[in-house]
Amino acid sequence: MAALAGRGIQIPVYDRNSVTIGIVHFGPGAFHRVHQAYYVDEVLNSDSRWGICEVSLHSKGVRDALEPQDGLYTIAILDAQASFRVIGAVKEVLVAPESPGAVIERLVNPATRIVSATITEKGYCLSKEGGLDFSHPEIAHDLANPTAPRTFVGFLARALRMRRDLGHEPFNVISCDNLADNGHRLRRAVLDFVRTVDPSLVAWVEAEVPFPCTMVDSITPATDDALRARVEEALGVEDKWPVQRELFCQWVIENNLRGTVPDWAAVGVTVTDDVAGFERAKLRLLNGAHSTLAYAGNLAGFETVADAMNDTALAGFVRRMMVEEVRPGLTAPAGLDLDQYIDAVLRRFRNPAIRHPLSQIEWDGSQKLPFRFLATVIENLAAGRSIERLCVPVAAWFHFIRRQVEQQRQIVDPLAEELAGLANKCNGDPAHDVATFLSLEKVFSAELAGNASFRAPLESAYARLSQVNDAGSLAGALS
């Protein structure tokens, strides 16, 4: 480790031998290891009780990579000048199908005060209505075999039952997935489960177990061979599974944690009573700007976010949309300066070290538009504020779908079949085409679709974008 420090690599300065496990985390993927584990590594500089036991519900890849490295791995922080940091927070990696008993034992251990997760939305096994999906085969297994769980929800239910019976305090359950109201949704799923298998546990979980909502943010490109080679050159030794992220990193946690927990605020985590306020700002400003760059940038032939931001006309349009049409409808929670946040978002998008393909942002537009744009459109219409610029990304999405069908390219969207059917009905007339897309009630409410104050600027934007095929024509359409 001393040799790494001599190379300018940041290494743990705390005594790893004195670190004990206080956190069990499900889903040791790249985002967790560049995000939550990074914050824990900071905490360990002053409090050695918060080492992490990683639990993989399926794959053994992370365990096989990190175990020979004593849990150590590298974060490459991509900015104008890259930097490298070795993380020492991971003390143990378990693969649940191989060692379910060891996972339960770690969860029940009184020293475990936090159980967290980054398992994607699918890992919560939720129904379309938002509760637990009782038809999910893995949930069905866990309901029939509650002492031998396979799912995150099943493991939580089993461990909480055992902790209650042993007289241990409950742990805090922290979802770190990019899912709105993640804590509330996880709590509902766990309560649905325990009502079925152990009704006597329901009141205790409701009264004693915190499920804080969170918001997480940091762009995390996938690990590839180029990163491995870059890290090996920087460190002088091979790292089997390094990870990478941008410099910006944000974690917001609801202020309802109980008992002994890390001093998150001391290491830059925002602890707040208004996670929803931070989520709303991220959805409408950051995610909305991302989708605008994706759909408008696609029409002009740009490939990445940085490419799109290098276009003066598009970057300027996005900034004006954020400042003039999105920001006025937001109430900033304590600790968030919206003007500074807008500047930070646009700065992040320009980062040349991050290659973020627009194609990834284009996916699942039918699920994203209602939250990123349409909610703001509805509020602005009610308040008499402008929606002229907000209509541009919506119209650009219409053109994106239409061009995907014309060019026989795949539409990656849960409503792909319905969208393709609508695109096939388009004839190029703005009023006709806009009306065709607005008939999709799963995205557009009848009230919004029938609002002339929405349709008129949307038709205008659609018409202006209809001939865009390069940067010059896009600049003309946005002017």
Decide if pLDDT at 8 tops 90: no
CB burial of residue 424 (10 Å; 0-12, 13-18, 19+): exposed
Topology (CATH) of 2-273: Rossmann fold (3.40.50)
Terminal CA-CA length for the chain: 55
User: Could you report the per-residue pLDDT of 378-424, keeping only the tens digit for each?
Assistant: 999 999 999 999 999 999 999 999 999 999 999 999 999 999 999 99
CA 43, CA 374: separation in Å to the nearest integer?
40
User: Could you report the per-residue pLDDT of 451-468, keeping only the tens digit for each?
Assistant: 999 999 999 999 999 999
**Average pLDDT score over the chain:** 96
pLDDT above 90: percentage of residues in the chain? 94
420 alpha carbon, distance to own chain's centre: 28
Taking phi first (over 0 means left), then psi (-120 to 50 degrees means alpha), and beta for anything else, what does residue 26 get? beta
343 half-sphere exposure, CB direction, 13 A CA radius: 5
CA 73, CA 298: separation in Å to the nearest integer?
36
User: Could you report the per-residue pLDDT of 168-191, keeping only the tens digit for each?
Assistant: 999 999 999 988 899 999 999 999
CA 83, CA 92: separation in Å to the nearest integer?
26
Q: Which residues, 6+ apart, have CB-to-CB distance to 112 below 8 Å? A: 21, 22, 23, 24, 53, 106, 171
CA 457, CA 223: separation in Å to the nearest integer?
42
Amino acid 249 reads: C
Q: What is the mean pLDDT of residues 46-50?
A: 98
Topology (CATH) of 276-478: N-(1-d-carboxylethyl)-l-norvaline Dehydrogenase; domain 2 (1.10.1040)
Please, which pLDDT band fits residue 355 given cuts at 50, 70 and 90? Answer: confident
Whose CA is closest to 290, among 280, 282, 301, 278? 282
Structure tokens at 341: 């946040």
The ranges assigned to domains in the chain are 2-273, 276-478
User: Could you report the per-residue pLDDT of 203-255, keeping only the tens digit for each?
Assistant: 999 999 999 999 999 999 989 999 999 999 999 999 999 999 999 999 999 99
